[in-house]
Amino acid sequence: MFIATACEDEKAETPPESATISGTITFSGDWPTKGTIYLSVQNTWYPVDAPYATTTISESDVTANAYAYSFTEVAFGTYAAISVSWLDPEDTNPATNQHIKVVYGGTAAAYFADADSITVSEDIYELTGLDFSAAF
């Protein structure tokens, strides 16, 4: 009689500690000659406080009208929106100097109130392909 046993060397996966949110923004129209373009992950929508994360986009970052973005090490949770805005350098009022150009999942016709929220967790830690278009 022959008895054999075997053990599979199972490696326990380390659960992710943060998430990545990425996609492509396609721009149309004339890039602003002055001011700053911001891409932000918003905690609230409409934004009434500082965004969770933000980065600037310059025209030199855009190739063939497309900008590939990626936010890494994003804390797990739900975020109200991803937005692209233009900071008007001639408007010194912080309540009016940011002009929203586009919001992921939102439409200008609804004044971007229909923005899609984004949820990341240990189970959903790589949100890719969050693509949208922005017009100047």
Domain boundaries, the chain: 19-128
- Please tell me the predicted confidence (pLDDT) of residue 4: 58
CATH number of 19-128: 2.60.40
- Is 73 a residue whose pLDDT tops 60? yes
Strands (E), the chain: 19-28, 36-42, 53-57, 66-74, 77-79, 81-87, 98-103, 118-120, 126-127, 132-135
Q: Look at residue 31 in the predicted model and tell me its pLDDT.
A: 92
Q: What is the mean pLDDT of residues 71-100?
A: 94
Residue 7 is predicted with a pLDDT of: 59
Average pLDDT of the segment spanning 85-91:
94
Average pLDDT over all residues of the chain: 90
For 98-111, the pLDDT digits (tens) are 899 999 998 888 88
